[in-house]
A and B are shown apart, each in its own frame.
Chain A
Amino acid sequence: MLGFVLRRIAMAVPVILILIIFSFVLMRAAPGGPFTKERALPPVVLENINAKYGLDDPLLVQIGTYLKNILFHFDFGPSFVYQDRTVNQIIADGFPVTLTYGFWTFVFAVLVGGALGIVAALKQNTWIDYLAVGFSIGAQALPNFIMAPILVLVFTLWLGWLPGGGWWGGPNDPNSYTSYLIMPVIALATSYLASIARLTRSSMLEVMNSNFIRTARAKGLPDRTIILRHTLKPALIPVISYLGPAFVGMITGSVVVDMFLSTGGIGKDFVQAALNRDYSVIMGITILVGMLTILFNLVVDVLYAWIDPRIRY
């Protein structure tokens, strides 16, 4: 097992390297640059800027310098658009935010979605099942850019319970920490929750109809044992393989949540950086997301072995 984990980590290095080179080249292939503005800069001014940021060097030299700075100084460079801030600062400011609401989204989606799926499977073809399935289809069809404005309308304007967006500003903030979390978590969790519910339900049903469960019933095992020990564990495998990448998606934030609810996370930074051609920020966040994806796929693979004794590495 340890050997497997080490092998996978070793494999991650070339993957990240390829990711960096690909993103770098693709990004530069896009027309325009960080300093292409409606108000065209005079060529001399543009030259000064390019010289300052090393954008006038040959592309290979730029990639080389970039890799060197990351490897030796862990420095992802300055932002070309937010010139007071470096990429390290932008990630340090935004990632804790998305990590927080992403983590709670995960907890909420897994608990509610999982419970909904299990109950629906156990009560298959009853009104509980129909309600659960109906709810999850509805939730999946409701995009978060619709959810977010509705949440603000209901919780801020009509009920006046929650601030209409923003993020907790420290102990002197008039609103509580939780009040800033509720809307982002609901908006982001809805569609994940629906997917988890449906995946859990169908995979539970499949396992419940398999031979070894029939054997267990024939042996006269109590329902509790059958469900908890023999059904749930194998039924979780497809859910877990879905949750690995989904978790990365949650903690690296959502552009919709960040834009609509002004949370200040890196979800928005990522998309805006692409639109602004803020090269260094695009690279920084791409590498972060890439590394997290590799990490959580590894976690999922390790979990498989724990859940299903037949899987061995």
Chain B
Amino acid sequence: MNISIKAALLCSAFAIASPALAAGTHPVTGEALADNQTYTYRMLDDVKSFDPQINTDVEGSHILRDLFEGLVNSDAQGNSVPGAAESWEVSEDGLTYTFKLRDAKWSNGDPVTAGDFVYAWRRLADPATASEYAWYMELMGVENATKIVAGEAEVDTLGATAIDDKTLEVKIDAPRPYFPGMLTHASTFPVNQKVIEAHGNDWTKPGNLVGNGAYVLTDYVPGVKVTRERNPMYWDNDNTILETVVALVINDENIALTRYDAGEVDKTEVPAGQYPALKEKLPDETYSTPRSCSYIYMFNLRENGPEALKDVRVRKALSYALNRDVIVDSILKGGQYPSYNWTHQKTAGFEMPSIDYATWSQDERVAKAKELLEEAGYGPGGKPLELTLNYNTSEAHKKIAIAASQMWKQNLGANITLANFEWKVHLDKLRNGDFGMARYAWCGDYNEPSTYTDLFTSTSGHNNGKYINEEYDALAKAAKTSENPAEEYKQMEQLLADDMPIVPVYQYTNVIMVKPDLKGYPFEDLMNNIYSRRMYKVAE
């Protein structure tokens, strides 16, 4: 209750402090702004944590991007633009980055310093924090991160140093041309040491939480809603237009849509399969935009995996015989992309290789599939092809799996048993290699192909099917230092198409409804990095 009263006071304080921006015109576009600058959106599930170094999920990241600001932001198209860092330089060898911080303040008035970033990054890597995203520090390749996470080096040996209050130097272990882009990730956001030490575990509670973002957390009702109000201390507060951003937890997508229709939320997800109908009914509010995730069936290529799958011809036959168009157009119906490769095709710096079977007609694919299967000695006249496909409980996964098994049955005479498992059981089986084929999906951490391609290197912890190809590993390594890594990525995708360790199924889209008076939503950003301060509501 106390928290809500505080929120009320804050609300009214802001209302008095900044009446000029509540109405008027947009400073850049000149559009007439609505009086009510409150943006309310639907959130599928409750926030797991407001702590940048602890949060692991996408919905939490949307909120953290409002409450905190990292060194680098992404613009509406997903390009890296300065955030808390005004500018940065990289050394000749590509191993040292020097970030110049802008003059900015925390929401309690403290200046934001390079030391705040050093503190946050050490905190992320520190085994005592036990962050699930500690590996992100390793992925970024910050010097000594791997040793620190493993407890083999002290946290203060991390390759991030505050040269002075406004200069941060970061040393990485290998050149990564996409390094600045990785810094848009919420786990790299700074935190205020003083505040964390003063409040301990309760530092993320509304009223305690201090951030350097455009908004401050004013109210949190677990399982119900999260409210944030504009932060007058933010360096670019003059250009913030939305006063209040409210995330409502609504689990059921159909109820969320009803509440959208009733005007309670400004943005929600389109329930599965309803996109075509809604697009027809409300063409100006219904969107399908690319989203950086890829959906596949993974083959188990381990020793203990099914014998049949050790033959590349069988794997190819299964992939060719799958009609992706049916899955995308008749089951998902949300503008998803039928997929013949692994990396999401809209990823920045990715050039699609000319994968042969992507250009064939489905009839050609099926004919080729039959031929390959026969050569391998399976199917009609040969050994029966019997496999199991694991998927986790979900209406959509089930529909796709049923369709796929029908296609394999019809086209190849294969008997694919469907095995449905509860989520954690499914993951457990994946980890332990206890599957023949399994549904899998991956979402990119940053907008660059290596976030996908690294997954099938032999040392990757996510390569559950244990696809091992030295050439692939060498290419992955070469891509890190390559002048034009697009070439390596292309070759890696080509190897995946030749060896077919996975069946690519489809690539994701965000299928959402957005009220027409809400402007500035980053539809074009593949990574879906939403910054509320760039959005605004126009007068109707």
Q: Interface residues, chain A, CB within 8 Å of chain B?
A: 30-33, 35-45, 48-49, 51-53, 81-86, 90, 93-94, 148-149, 152-153, 156-157, 160, 163-167, 169-173, 258-265, 268-269, 275-277
CA gap between A275 and B421 in the complex, in Å:
12
Q: In chain B, residues 240-298, which have Cβ atoms closer than 8 Å to a Cβ of chain A?
A: 248-252, 254-255, 258-259, 261-262, 264
Distance of A42 Cα from B131 Cα, bound (Å): 11
Q: Which residue in chain A gives the minimum CB-CB distance to B150?
A: A44
Contacts of B7 in A (CB 8 A): 172
Query: Which residue among A40, A84, A269 has the maximum number of chain B CB atoms within 10 Å of its CB?
Result: A84
Most interface-central of B131, B222, B225, B427 (chain A CB within 10 A) = B222
Contact A164 B423 (CB under 8 A): no
Which of chain A's residues have a CB closer than 8 A to the CB of B224?
166-167, 169, 262-264
What are the residues of chain A within 8 A of B50 when measuring CB–CB? 84
- Pairs across A and B, CB under 8 Å, 9 listed: A37-B427, A45-B132, A48-B134, A82-B49, A84-B48, A149-B252, A165-B259, A169-B224, A264-B222
Is the C-beta of B458 less than 8 angstroms from some C-beta in chain A?
no
Chain A hits for B225, CB < 8 A: 166, 169, 262
Q: Name A260's contact: one of B48, B130, B252, B262 (CB within 8 Å).
A: B252
Contact A170–B5 (Cβ < 8 Å): yes
Contact of B262 among A30, A160, A167 (CB under 8 A): A160
Q: For residue A52, which residues in chain B have a CB less than 8 angstroms away from its CB? A: 128, 130
The reply to whether A51 and B130 form a contact with Cβ atoms under 8 Å apart is yes
A38 in contact with B201 given A44-B149, A156-B258 (CB within 8 Å): no
* Chain B residues with CB under 8 A of A261: 255
Q: Which residues on A sit within 8 Å (CB–CB) of B500? A: none
Question: With A37-B56, A165-B255, A269-B223 given, is the CB distance from A83 to B462 under 8 Å?
Answer: no
Do the beta carbons of B221 and A169 come within 8 Å of each other?
yes
Q: Does B51 contact A (CB under 8 A)?
A: yes
Q: Which residues of B contact A90 (CB under 8 A)?
A: 222
Neighbouring B residues of A83 by C-beta, 8 Å:
48-49, 51, 54
Most buried by A among B250, B424, B462: B424
Is B261 a contact of A94 with CB atoms below 8 Å?
no
Cβ distance B220 to chain A, nearest Cβ, rounded Å: 9
| Contact (Cβ within 8 A) B132 A85 | no
State the Cβ distance, B137 to closest chain A Cβ, in Å: 10
Contact B255 A30 (CB under 8 A): no
Decide yes or no: A40 and B461 within 8 Å by CB, A45-B149, A258-B223, A262-B224 being known contacts: yes
The reply to whether the CB of B135 lies closer than 8 angstroms to some CB of chain A is yes
| Docked complex Cα distance between A58 and B354 (Å) | 54
How many Å from the CB of A267 to the closest CB on chain B? 10
CA distance A152 to B291 in the complex (A): 30
User: Is B396 positioned at the interface, with any CB of A under 8 Å from its CB?
Assistant: no
Closest A residue to B445 by CB, please name it: A39
Counting CB contacts under 8 A, is B415 at the interface? Answer: no
A39 and B139 CA atoms in complex are apart in Å by 13
Q: Is residue B66 within 8 Å, beta carbon to beta carbon, of the partner chain?
A: no
Nearest 6 pairs between A and B by C-beta? A32-B424, A264-B223, A170-B4, A52-B130, A164-B259, A172-B8
Q: Check if B427 sits within 8 Å of A164, measured CB to CB.
A: no
**From A52, which residue of chain B is reached at the shortest CB distance?**
B130
**Known interface pairs A90-B222, A265-B223. Does A166 touch B248 (Cβ–Cβ under 8 Å)?**
yes
Q: A36-B428, A83-B48 are in contact. List 14 more A-B contacts (CB 8 A).
A: A33-B424, A40-B427, A42-B461, A48-B127, A48-B134, A81-B48, A82-B46, A84-B49, A84-B51, A90-B222, A170-B1, A258-B223, A259-B251, A264-B223
Q: Are B222 and A94 in contact (CB under 8 A)?
A: yes
Which A residues are CB-close (under 8 A) to B51? 83-84
Give the chain B neighbours of A157 by CB distance below 8 A: 258-259, 261-262
Q: A33-B424, A263-B223 are in contact. Are A172 and B11 (CB under 8 A)?
A: yes
In the complex, B425 has a CB within 8 A of chain A: yes
Chain A interface mostly helix, strand, loop or mixed? loop
- Interface size grouping (class) on chain B: 35 or more
The answer to the question of B493 belonging to the interface, with a C-beta cut-off of 8 Å to chain A, is no
- Nearest-CB distance from A311 to chain B (Å)? 42
Nearest CB on B from A32, distance (A): 3
Neighbouring B residues of A277 by C-beta, 8 Å: 424
C-beta contact mask, B41-72 vs A, less than 8 Å → 1, else 0? 00000101111001010000000000000000
- Assess whether B54 is in contact with A171, with CB atoms less than 8 Å apart: no
Contact of B221 with A152 in the complex, beta carbons under 8 Å: no
Q: Is the CB of A41 within 8 A of B255?
A: no
- Cβ proximity bits B106-142 to A, threshold 8 Å, 1 near / 0 not: 0000000000000000000001101110110010000
Instruction: Give the complex CA separation of A172 and B9 in angstroms.
Output: 10
Chain A residue, CB-CB nearest to B464: A40
CB of B219 within 8 A of chain A? yes
Chain B 215-248, CB-CB to A under 8 Å as 1, else 0, gives 0000101111100000000000000000000001
A38 x B258 contact (CB < 8 A): no
CA of A148 to CA of B256, assembled, Å: 12
With CB as the reference atom, state the residue of chain B lying closest to A266: B223
Query: CB of B204 within 8 A of chain A?
Result: yes
Q: How far is the CA of A170 from the CA of B1 in the complex (A)?
A: 6
CB distance from A73 to the nearest CB of B (A): 15
Residues of the A chain whose Cβ atoms lie less than 8 Å from the Cβ of B477: none
Is B248 within 8 A of A36, CB to CB? no
Residue of A nearest to B432 (CB): A31
Distance A39 CA – B205 CA, assembled complex (angstroms): 28
Tell whether B383 is near chain A: CB-to-CB under 8 Å. Answer: no
Taking the complex as formed, is B422 at the interface, i.e. its CB lies under 8 A from any CB of chain A?
Answer: yes
With A40-B431, A40-B461, A84-B50 as known contacts, state yes or no: A152 contacts B149, CB within 8 Å: no
Alpha-carbon distance between A201 and B442 when the two chains are bound, in angstroms: 57
**B535 close to chain A: CB less than 8 A:** no
Given contacts A36-B424, A42-B135, A156-B264, contact A172 B150 (CB under 8 A): no
Residues of B within 8 A of A276 (CB): 424
With A37-B56, A265-B223 known as contacts, the answer to whether A152 contacts B255 (CB < 8 A) is yes
List the B residue with the shortest CB-CB distance to A172: B8
Assuming the A-B contacts A172-B4, A265-B223, are A260 and B49 also in contact, with contact meaning beta carbons closer than 8 angstroms in the complex? Answer: no
Asked whether, in the complex, the Cβ of B427 is within 8 Å of the Cβ of A32, the reply is yes
Is B495's beta carbon under 8 Å from chain A?
A: no
Q: With CB as the reference atom, state the residue of chain A lying closest to B222.
A: A93
Are B223 and A152 in contact, CB atoms less than 8 angstroms apart?
Answer: no
- Interface flag for B441 (CB, 8 Å): yes
* Inter-chain contacts of A163 with B (CB < 8 A): 264
Asked whether B264 lies within 8 Å of A164 as measured between CB atoms, the reply is: yes
In the assembled complex, the Cα of A240 lies from the Cα of B12 at a distance in Å of 50
Chain B residues near A264 (CB, 8 Å)? 221-224, 249
> Across the two chains, which residue of chain A brings its CB closest to B203?
A84
A100 to chain B, nearest CB (A): 13
Which residues of B are found within 8 Å of A156, using beta-carbon distances? 258-259, 262, 264
Given A152-B258, A157-B261, A263-B223: A32 in contact with B425 (beta carbons within 8 A): yes
B residues in contact with A93, CB < 8 Å: 222-223
User: Closest residue of chain A to B46, judged by CB?
Assistant: A82
B201: nearest chain-A partner, CB-CB = A84
Q: Is the CB of A31 within 8 A of B54?
A: no
Q: Is the CB of B134 within 8 A of A262?
A: no
